[in-house]
């Protein structure tokens, strides 16, 4: 049997590795063939990596969130993606004791003035009717802690923003509220919540904004916003600004 010399075999490139997966029948496994097999394995690894990277980029471009596994999943709040919030116009909340007075009279010295407005976390274009809509909102929200305001009136954190407003309107002293206002600083809040909108609620809806109510407090020229992220303070708005019921569930 004549064993071919090294020069008898053309040196294959990475693009030709498929023809050298195994040695030809009747011929020995030469060093060239071994090298080609190594290139073949390396090419497969690079190909799998490229597919994984492409899938990650597509998911992020579509607004998806990739979940890590293992120790890497315990990331700090600073590493979570920031939620881009679109804020609607704020409306003044009139305390009962001063209802009927002008807006300028309400902003009295040493008095906490409150406003409320809808904060959109997600905007969705509805292209089909007759189906329920489900999704998930994840990310980091920069806000003052609404739970501190709830503690002023001994409210559970699950209470809606309208319950807080009822207590605020009755608070003629505002002593505890003022103290809390001065103490509050901005914090990063990790958000991870699922939402569901029924097909019936989406009838005639072409654009849906999903979000939560924000309370804006002003005292002596200082303004602080408290976004109330709980089920009773969230909801949706259609293209005309009408309310759309949304069910929320923490993850």
pLDDT band at 148 (very low <50, low <70, confident <90, very high): very high
Instruction: Give pLDDT, residue 92.
Output: 96
Model pTM greater than 0.75? no
Q: Which residues pair with 138 in a beta bridge?
A: 192
What are the boundaries of each domain within the chain?
A: 6-61, 79-250
Q: Residues of the chain with pLDDT > 70: what percent?
A: 63
- 243-247 long-range contacts (CB < 8 A, ≥24 apart) are 244/197, 244/201, 244/202, 244/205, 244/208, 245/197, 245/198, 245/201, 246/195, 246/196, 246/197, 246/201, 246/210, 247/195, 247/196, 247/197
**Cross-strand pairs, 192:** 138
Q: What stretches of the chain adopt beta strand conformation (E)?
A: 86-87, 91-93, 113-125, 133-143, 187-197, 207-219, 222-227, 234-237, 243-244, 247-250
Residue 215 has a pLDDT of: 98
d(CA 126, CA 208): 7
pLDDT value, residue 34: 56
Residue for token pair 């010399």: 5
Q: Predicted confidence band at 7 (pLDDT cuts at 50, 70, 90)?
A: very low
| Local confidence band at 180 (pLDDT 50, 70, 90 cut-offs) | very high
More confidently predicted of 227 and 35: 227
Over residues 152-170, the mean pLDDT reads 97
Phi/psi at 239 (5° precision) = -65, -20
Would you state the pLDDT for residue 62?
31
Q: Collapsing DSSP states into helix, strand and coil, what is residue 183?
A: helix
The predicted-structure confidence for 96-130, as pLDDT tens digits, reads as follows 755 444 455 455 668 999 999 999 999 999 999 99
- Mean pLDDT along residues 174-190: 96
Output the furthest CA–CA distance in the chain (Å, rounded). Answer: 109
- When the pLDDT of each residue in the chain is averaged and rounded to a whole number, the result is 77
CA-CA-CA-CA dihedral for 37, 39, 44, 50, to nearest 10? 180
pLDDT digit string, tens, across residues 31-88: 555 565 555 555 444 433 333 323 222 222 233 332 222 333 334 445 789 999 999 9
- pLDDT value at residue 107: 56
Residue 4 has pLDDT above 60, yes or no: no
- The mean pLDDT of 16-31, rounded to a whole number, is 48
């Amino acid at each position: 049997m004549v064993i071919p010399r090294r020069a008898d075999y053309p040196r294959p490139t990475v693009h030709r590795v498929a023809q050298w997966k195994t040695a030809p029948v009747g011929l020995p496994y030469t060093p060239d063939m071994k090298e080609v097999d190594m290139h073949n394995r390396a090419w497969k690894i690079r190909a799998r990596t490229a597919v994984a990277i492409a899938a990650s980029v597509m998911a992020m471009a579509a607004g998806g969130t990739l979940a890590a596994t293992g120790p890497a999943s315990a990331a700090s709040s600073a590493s979570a993606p920031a939620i881009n919030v679109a804020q609607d116009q704020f409306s003044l909340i009139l305390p009962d004791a001063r209802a009927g007075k002008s807006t300028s009279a309400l902003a009295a010295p040493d008095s906490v003035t409150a406003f409320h407005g809808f904060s959109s976390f997600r905007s969705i274009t509805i292209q089909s009717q007759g189906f329920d809509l489900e999704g998930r909102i994840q990310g980091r929200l920069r806000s003052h802690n609404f739970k501190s305001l709830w503690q002023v009136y001994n409210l559970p954190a699950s209470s809606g923003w309208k319950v807080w407003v009822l207590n605020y309107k009755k608070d003629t002293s505002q002593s505890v509220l003022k103290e809390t206002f001065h103490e509050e600083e901005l914090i990063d809040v990790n958000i991870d919540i699922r939402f569901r909108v029924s097909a019936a609620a989406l009838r005639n809806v072409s654009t849906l904004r999903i979000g939560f109510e924000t309370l804006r407090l002003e005292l002596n020229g200082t303004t602080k916003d408290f976004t109330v992220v709980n089920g009773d303070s969230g909801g949706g708005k259609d293209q005309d600004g009408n309310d759309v019921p949304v069910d929320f569930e923490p993850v």
